[in-house]
Structure 1
Amino acid sequence: MARALPSRADLIDYNYAVAGHDGTLSDVDGELFIKPCTMAEIAFYESSLATHPEFAEYMPTYMGTLTLDENQNGKTVEEVGAALIAKRSLPEVVVPVKTGKRIETNLAVVLENAAHGFVKPNILDVKLGVRLWADDAAEEKKIRFDKVTEETTHKELGFRVAGMRVWQGHGAKGSDIDEEGYKIYDKNYGRFSIHRGNVHEAFKNFIFSESAGIDEELGKLVAQAFLADVTRIQAVLEGQESRMFSASLLFVFEGDGAALRLAMEEASRSPATLVNGDDENSEEDDDDVVGPKIYVVKVIDFAHATWVPGQGPDENALLGVRSVAKVLEHIGGV
């Protein structure tokens, strides 16, 4: 049975912000993420699902499109229900921010929201590449983006911390801590405070939070889990031919130390809960409860992405992926 999308009136702004464009929405339950997009981004999602399944595994779960108008009451998108029933996997997230930048389109892509299901999701967006602009970019944009590259870790490491939010524990207060207890690291943190010599500290700030119960033991386990996925993403990109300008690696993990430890303990008792998908012979109901969330790593932001047969791997993005892997190796004690 297909899942009916909420009406436009029932959609709300998505406010768990670290990086991205304005205009992103969620359903009231927080299970769906609705992102303004272009036809090119939809085409990349659909072609990846059709012909590049190894890469699609690391994309946000795509469930169809919507037209953002005021006449959506009662509209059902068959892909939504079909994807949820067929995939039966842990949901993913794409993270937006209020920046004042809005894509001029009434078309939106519908994705599952991986922040849903975490007790306190910690979120990090890592923008990939040395060159950040696509071939069709305006000259003004090329100049502006090249300046960002020149002044940040993009130049040497091929990535930049675009933003992150880290839960600081119950009762945390401060000018940079929001009402939910999250410390917010905005785009200026990655542009002006982070350089090659201290980039490891940014990842430590993201993963380790003693006040939230994320001690060295738990933090290293998280870093090692992230590294395993980043290494697999690297291998996939090295074996395929694509170009993705201004794509990102998205990291999400359980920021409540007590909840994280319980989730890890449960996963160790039930290894099957860590598998992406279910045994095809299983007769369990589709509504069976999935174990508590631990972490997610995805590649996101495909507005300027395409497959380029015959042109080789995307070394521009791969430089950043490899650099991130080295940082995670360092802080994970691998």
Structure 2
Amino acid sequence: MLKIPDHQVAGHKAGVGKLGPLIDDSGRFYKPLQGDERGSNEAAFYTSFSSNTKIPDHITRFFPKFYGTQLVKASDGSGMQPHLVLQDLTFNRVNPSVMDVKIGSRTWAPQVLEDYINKCLKKDRESSSIYLGFRLSGLQVFEDRESGFWKPGKAEVKSLSADEVRLFLKKYVSSNTSSALDSKPDCAFASIVYGGSTGILSQLLELKAWFEDQTIYHFYSCSILMIFEKELALSGKGPCAEIKLVDFAHVFEGKGVIDHNFLGGLCSLIKFISEILTTPEDCAADDLLEDVQKSHIYSENGSV
């Protein structure tokens, strides 16, 4: 039984009369294959990437597993349609906080039609893509079981300044995400989500090292998903923070040239996250996290 994903934060979403991705109960994600060259291009990328022995294992872990293509009943009621069958990146995660970051100051490839370039260029200019090298496409942050998720709309994340991007990156790892909107984000979870030997920053740096050398592919309009589980952090466990690259409809051969567009955006994102971790007045995370964990334990035990 296929169903609409609960934790999709960007892209086309399935609904009545709307074509979008679906998931099943076994951990697979069904993405509709676009009917034009974008669909065939993405399928070709996954096929090439999954069989490319030059890609090291420590890099393949940053990409969704690919299970081929399959005809399934489309979400828009149009009948059986081809779908990419991929790994469901939030499968078995409890209330995951998710952020979609589109990488690159340019989201269009030189090979595409002029009309499409103009469409992308308009979005790039209206967002932070051109001047930061990345933009936020969507996010959800789990607050608590009573409040659920804080999930700003597209309009809220569409045209952010550098300071606003920094604010959202802080809110993503804060305990006071949406309450007291005028208060400074406490960055309570920054040290254990962004920091550490297995945190998001470490993973981004590992990915950066590969992009400094790889000339096989050029990635346009590709996103990095950041995922972690706040409830695990509250209970004193690791938050299972990880990054995954998604959306490969605009990947082209690198032809021996480094992908400076993607690499530049990745370096910019790394800089922003590094600054959050190295600004103690904004991220007094350790003491605050301890207080938050104690509060969570007390509420679980019914104490006051």
Task: Report the TM-score range of the alignment, normalised by the length of the smaller protein.
Answer: 0.7 to 0.9
Kindly state the Cα deviation for residue 206 of structure 1 after the two structures are TM-superposed.
Answer: 1.1
Report the more deviating stretch, 146-155 or 51-60.
51-60
Q: What is residue 36 of structure 1 aligned with on the other side?
A: 32
Kindly state the Cα deviation for residue 162 of structure 1 after the two structures are TM-superposed.
Answer: 0.3
Paired residue secondary structure (1:239): coil
Q: Partner letter of residue 27 of structure 2?
A: E
1:26 aligns to 2:36 (yes or no): no
Deviations 1:290-311 (A, max 9, x none): xxx612201110011123232x
Q: What is residue 155 of structure 2 aligned with on the other side?
A: 188
Contact 1:11 1:26 in 2 (8 A): yes
Q: Give, in whole Å, the separation in 2 of the partners of 1:333 and 1:217.
A: 14
1:58 aligns to 2:62 (yes or no): yes
Kindly state the Cα deviation for residue 218 of structure 1 after the two structures are TM-superposed.
Answer: 3.1
Contact 2:171 2:187 in 1 (8 A): no
Contact 1:243 1:306 in 2 (8 A): yes
Q: What is residue 75 of structure 1 aligned with on the other side?
A: none
Q: What is residue 245 of structure 1 aligned with on the other side?
A: 220
Deviations 1:268-312 (A, max 9, x none): xxxxxxxxxxxxxxxxxxxxxxxxx612201110011123232x1
Q: What is residue 16 of structure 1 aligned with on the other side?
A: 7
Paired residue secondary structure (2:209): helix
Pairs within 5 Å for 1:1-334: 10-22=1-13, 23-27=20-24, 29=25, 31-37=27-33, 38-51=39-52, 52-54=54-56, 55-69=59-73, 106-172=81-147, 181-192=148-159, 194-210=160-176, 216=187, 218-224=189-195, 225-241=199-215, 242-256=217-231, 258-259=232-233, 261-264=235-238, 294-310=240-256, 312-333=257-278
Q: Partner letter of residue 21 of structure 1?
A: H
Cα 1:112/1:189, change in 2 over 3 Å:
same
Contact 1:218 1:261 in 2 (8 A): no
Kindly state the Cα deviation for residue 125 of structure 1 after the two structures are TM-superposed.
Answer: 0.2
Q: Give, in whole Å, the separation in 1 of the partners of 2:87 and 2:94.
A: 17
Cα 1:136/1:260, change in 2 over 3 Å:
farther
Q: What is residue 7 of structure 1 aligned with on the other side?
A: none
Paired residue secondary structure (1:263): coil
Q: Give, in whole Å, the separation in 2 of the partners of 1:11 and 1:118.
A: 18
Q: Give, in whole Å, the separation in 1 of the partners of 2:190 and 2:26.
A: 27
Q: Give, in whole Å, the separation in 2 of the partners of 1:325 and 1:246.
A: 18
Identity %: 28
Paired residue secondary structure (2:262): helix
Contact 1:127 1:162 in 2 (8 A): yes
Instruction: Quote the RMSD (CA, aligned, Å).
Output: 2.8
Cα 1:210/1:196, change in 2 over 3 Å:
closer
Give the gaps of 5 or more residues in structure 2: 14-19, 34-38, 179-184, 280-304
Report the TM-score, using the length of structure 1 for normalisation: 0.69
Q: Which has the higher contact order (CA 8 A, sep 6+)?
A: 1
Cα 1:30/1:204, change in 2 over 3 Å:
farther
Contact 1:249 1:298 in 2 (8 A): yes
Report the TM-score, using the length of structure 2 for normalisation: 0.76
Give the gaps of 5 or more residues in structure 1: 1-9, 71-97, 173-180, 265-292
Paired residue secondary structure (2:144): coil
Q: Give, in whole Å, the separation in 2 of the partners of 1:301 and 1:323.
A: 20
Contact 1:254 1:260 in 2 (8 A): no
Paired residue secondary structure (1:16): coil
Cα 1:30/1:324, change in 2 over 3 Å:
farther
Q: Give, in whole Å, the separation in 1 of the partners of 2:268 and 2:162.
A: 10
Kindly state the Cα deviation for residue 188 of structure 1 after the two structures are TM-superposed.
Answer: 2.1
Q: Give, in whole Å, the separation in 1 of the partners of 2:137 and 2:121.
A: 16
Contact 2:175 2:189 in 1 (8 A): no
Deviations 1:67-121 (A, max 9, x none): 2259xxxxxxxxxxxxxxxxxxxxxxxxxxx9x9xxxx92211122121222210
